[in-house]
Structure 1
């Protein structure tokens, strides 16, 4: 694998960031008119869907659909607002991980195999996240707006337009979504490539544990292993500082989306709604997106444990006194563990994902109880 192939994910990421306006001087969101339009669209849709959820005379299932629209748009809104302010840290992190990846790839062909897997994982993540963003926030929302958004008195421009405001509101929403299609795709690309950065970091840790054991050839010089590992430790801390609150938002909102989308699917199936296949597709997407983040956090945690085991398994008694001291440094650093967490409150791994799904299932049961009480 040549240097161009090694740098492919980073070229993807920089291209996406450039399209999003995050590589410009100053805060990127100010220099990107399309992104601002999209943020305004998300805000207006959140206001309209919130008003719909509180409106009198609507059925319980219609309220649930309005809540799903609100949660979905808030999800996208949060990312579009938060990401541009992470530009300096994000660019520094990209540069640091690129350096580690290229250095690791020059050591051993085994790392190239890991990197190929990660590039494939990146492309898979892009299609899943892009599918979630475009389908949830484009197709499903527009169809719901056309069907349900009768109550728009909260929108200020109705006072300045003397003709049929409702039809023009529909057209404005559709036009806004179409013009914001590109930034939605690019935001999906950034999200999936952030996943790739995490997986590439775990691949570098996996490579270190194999080299420390001497798998696939003679062990590399211990001092270079320690130096590379310390750099990876700094990268993981940087990832944690940069992404932990975004991942926290991801899991918090994903649990709500899974719950509401699952409940919407149950209602559609029970009432014979012709849009049930659409609800099913939305539900599958809401399940897949947090899985990607969980797998990344799980991978880092697992590879950190393997590195610790490799440090213990090394034949330290055959080393010189100086190398024994270096190995002790590596052992101490590896013992601190590698994981993504939000202020020590949560660790992003498959255990957390199972808890999110269980919580969503409990919320669905609660919604069914609320619907029964509302009918009575």
Structure 2
């Protein structure tokens, strides 16, 4: 069967995303936390929320938010120290469930993964039925809920998993894809971050329909190499395969500032924000590196980096902050104002491997 929005044979892809994973594990294991606003993280002044329960999210508490901000938004918030060994064990349980349906599993983090179920191992009537069965098995074996998106490519499957959260699923067939994308707010497009959203708004691009109305030449002119990606996804095109052996080699975060930085306090605050974002990804992925790199681009566009490799992986948020700041301090006194600053962690410990196993069926 051909993809209705292209020429390639149609894949059946499921994106499974656990619901408030870390916080849900804590609520499962401690009945006193059920139904209460919970944040996984540390309530210290430099603490960051690693995950928030749905009860906490109603107050505006989000992952990567400073703990002090979260407490202002929700004074009743209960902080629970993270237990990453437990989260990894539950994640392995979930991966074992996936392995009963396909060997094409691409984990994105401890709590989400793409599955290519085009080869129908279980002989189920549709990819939608497969997603339902997977979610039911996750609930039965772990006591946790998952949401799923089902579509013919990764971009749309990931969008679908957000549609009916928590504990729901959503299918985007080729016949529905064009209308679904056209009505979508540009901020919901995977791969379009806040700064790009602002730039698109300035160009009059607010929805998928607006994006589809732009020429490839204009998008490449405005967004460089990303322009072709934006042009494709506005038309529902995403040819990326599900890659079971995909290995992430690093996690980084960087910001180009609207005004160049010269004040040391502002520079160290910016360093901490980048480190916070890196730490959030590492916690979700369950990957921790030995090497920390700080990157700075000066106002004259000269680029410099400073790195440190430790004897063991960093598994503590405070340690990442400390090393990042120490590396940044090596660049003082500044030779020029700073226009860009980034923090990266690399040299990861090896991620847990997925396991193998092989009929064709509809999305729904």
Q: What TM-score, normalized by structure 1, do the two folds share?
A: 0.24
- Larger RCO, structure (CA 8 Å, separation 6 or more): 1
Larger Rg: 1
* Greater strand share, structure number: 2
Q: What TM-score, normalized by structure 2, do the two folds share?
A: 0.24
